[in-house]
Amino acid sequence: MEVTDEAMSVAQGIFAPIGATMREAIATYSPDEQATVLRFLLDAVDAAARALEEGGGSRSGMG
């Protein structure tokens, strides 16, 4: 698979504005606050992955 110049241009048009606004939002947090947010996000991703590995992704029992 090869990424075309057109695909790169479309992706940049979509993601560049998101990246810019995210950088603006992040800049409002102190380094300590950023570290706390990062720690939470990493822990949340890890917890979700563990739940899926343990079968927590099953839909049985829902509904």
In which band, very low, low, confident or very high, does the pLDDT at 60 lie, cut at 50, 70 and 90? low
In which band, very low, low, confident or very high, does the pLDDT at 37 lie, cut at 50, 70 and 90? very high
- Residue 61, pLDDT > 90, answer no
In which band, very low, low, confident or very high, does the pLDDT at 57 lie, cut at 50, 70 and 90? low
Measured at the alpha carbon of residue 49, what is the angle toward residues 48 and 52, in degrees to the nearest 5? 85
How far apart, in whole angstroms, are the C-alpha atoms of residue 44 and residue 11? 27
Reduced to 3 DSSP states, what percent helix, strand and coil does the chain have, rounded to the nearest 5? Answer: 70, 0, 30
Which tokens in the block code for residue 10?
């479309």
Residue 49: name the closest of 38, 41, 37, 61 by CA. Answer: 41
User: pTM above the 0.75 mark?
Assistant: no
The per-residue pLDDT of the chain, averaged, comes to 91
| Contacts for 36 with CB less than 8 Å, ≥ 6 apart | none
In which band, very low, low, confident or very high, does the pLDDT at 63 lie, cut at 50, 70 and 90? very low
